[in-house]
Every structure is written in structure tokens, then in C-alpha cells.
Structure 1
Amino acid sequence: MKKVILIIGITLGLNPLFAQEDDLDISSDNAWLKAGVTAGVPVSDAGDFSSFTLGVDLRGQYLFNPNLGVGIASGYSNYFGEDENDDFGIIPLAGFIRYYFTPNGLFFGSDIGYGFLTGADDTEGGLYVNPQIGYHNRDWNIYAYYQNTFAENDIDIQSIGIGATYNIRFK
């Protein structure tokens, strides 16, 4: 219940960032889709059951100004089971915020939302956070991440890794 209240509080707190303006002009210069792949190493509880994670990353982003972008994120991360453990996965549904220092160069940001677990019997999912730091240009983002899903039953599904996304611009 605490996690549900936390998610609702964060959603309401971030709501002004996603508010629509009357003169919202979406173009290839301020909005695009991002599609890519991630690869990582499970740590903590997940490291006991899995040795590698591979996933897809899908995002829709809108830039408020050249430095601040917000959007929605989803995808799928598969955790490959080891020692007779089955594979399991996470499907995140999250909002994200990114800060770009310059038009090409360093960025940092984070996703926050809910991670739905697949292939797990004891839990359905939980609070999902995914801070990132990386390099970007007009077409690509390459980043390091730390992904954590605070699942039910005090299980934390964590991984660290790298990812790359390609920006698909609206025309």
C-alpha cells in the first residue's frame, strides 16, 4: 500500500510537467520516438536467479526547451535464468525526465513508474525507477543505467548496464 501511495504522490507531483499548453507545437525539432536495446548484469536479489539481462527500450519524448525533455517509457527486459531457474522479465510503464546540458553531449535523467513482472509466481510487480547518464546527439543516445523494481514480497529486481536508442523524428 505504501508503494501505491508513493506512485500516486509522484504522479501528482510530476503532473505540472506534463500539462498541456494551448499553443503546444509538436515538430521534428521537439518531439520524437526513441527505440533501442539494453544489456545488463543483474545485481542483488536478481543476481541470485539470473546472470544476464537483455531488453528493448521504447520512449516518446517532448522537449520543453533545448535542455529539458519529458515523456513516457516502456519496453521489456528479460532476465535469463541460471542454475535451473526460469527466465523472468519486467515491462515498465513509466514517465521520464531528462536534462540535456548541451545540444550534443552529456545528459542525465530518470524513469519512474510501475514495473510489471512476467514469469514470476510470487509477485506481480512494483515501483520502477531507472536513472540514466549518457551521451546524446541528434540521432542517438548511448547511456549507462541502474534499473530497480521494488517488487512485492520485499524482492528488488535490480540491474546495471548500458543502452542505446535511435531517435525516430516526426516529419
Structure 2
Amino acid sequence: MKKLFLLAAIAVFGITGLNAQGQFNGGVNVGLITGDFSDFYSFNITVDASYLWEVSDQIQAGVATGFSQSFGKDTDFGDAEDAQFLPLAAAGRFNVSDEFTLGVDLGYAVGINDGNDGGFYYAPRVQYAVSESLDVVLAYRGVSIDAGPVTVGFNTITAGVEFGL
């Protein structure tokens, strides 16, 4: 399943290179772990990349990927290993005004580290345009992980910047 998602992402990004009508964006974010894993992980660094096409004056749609690194804490149960995810997602953005944009990324986050199978990925976001090519981004990023009889959430709240390239 992971290989299928990775192959699909490579195909989508390969096709986007043929069409120069879109906008490529890159971003860097830092965040805090919330929810089920907050006792085991201290903070998060995420690097994002997206390619968006203009659907209308207010709506963009496209694909998104990146790399997420969450750093483990020293706990009573021992040291938690760092957790890494590679999200592969569809992306949508809605321009509320010239400065504010609401968006969401939906897809699958591939688990990179040992014992991490990944899960459903969702990332609602709010962006504020500082300039034509620089946005400040606040996002809630979640990965729903199937943990046997229950599903747990690996969730982060991040803040960062996004550059239009």
C-alpha cells in the first residue's frame, strides 16, 4: 500500500512538471504534539511542498507532500524514538480575502521509522499573506493510526512560513 501511494505521488509530481500553469510552494513549520502522543514526544519540525492549480479566482487545488519529524521524550517507560511521516495528500485552498486563505490537505501519511505504519492524514490550515510570495501558516496536522482495536491520533499544532516559488 505504501509503495502504491509513493508511486502515485511520483506520477502526479511528474505530470505537474509538464503543466506550467500552477504554483509550486515550499514551507517550514515547527509545532507541538497534542493528544494521544503528547506524553512521548516534545516538538515537531515539518517541511512542506505543494503544487496548486487555480480552479477559480478564489479556489486552488493540487497535491501536497513533505516530511514530518517529531522528537521523542525521555519518559518513565524509557526513551521514545523519533517519529517520521511522509504525507501524500490532495490539497485545497480557498482565498477568503487578499490576505487570508483557508485550506486543507487530505491523504495518507507514510510512516518512515520502524514500527510506524502511518495512517489517514488531515491538515486544516489558515494562511496570512505577508507578501505576494510569503505566507504565515497555522495548521493542525493529524495522522489517524490504527492501533489494533482502537484508532489513535498523532496530532500536532504547527506554525511556520510558506514560500511561493
Normalised to the residue count of structure 2, the TM-score between the two structures is 0.79
What is the deviation of 1:58?
0.5
Matched, 1:164 2:149: no
Aligned residues: 139
User: For each residue in 1:128-154, what CA deviation from the matched residue of structure 2 results, as whole angstroms up to 9, or x when unmatched?
Assistant: 000001212420121110011001212
**How does 1:7-86 map onto structure 2 within 5 Å?**
26-27=20-21, 31-83=22-74, 84-86=79-81
Aligned counterparts of 1:62 and 1:39: Cα–Cα separation in 2: 26
- 2:16 aligns to what? none
Matched, 1:125 2:118: yes
Is residue 98 of structure 1 aligned with residue 111 of structure 2? no
Per the TM alignment, residue 116 of structure 1 is displaced from its structure 2 partner at its CA by 1.0
Post-superposition offset of 1:117 = 1.4
Residue 140 of structure 2 is aligned to residue 146 of structure 1: yes
Structure 1 segments of 4+ aligned residues over 3 angstroms from their partners: none
In structure 2, runs of 5+ residues without a counterpart are: 1-18
* 133-142 vs 158-167, greater mean Cα deviation: 133-142
Unaligned runs of 5+ in 1: 1-24
Alpha-carbon deviation of 1:46?
A: 2.1
Secondary structure in 1 matching 2:55: strand
1:88 aligned onto 2:83 = yes
C-alpha separation between the residues in 2 aligned to 1:43 and 1:64?
34
For the aligned residue pairs, the C-alpha RMSD in angstroms reads 1.4
Q: Whole-Å Cα distance in 2 between the matches of residues 42 and 156 of structure 1? A: 10
Equivalent position SS for 2:80: coil
Secondary structure of the structure 2 residue equivalent to 1:48: coil
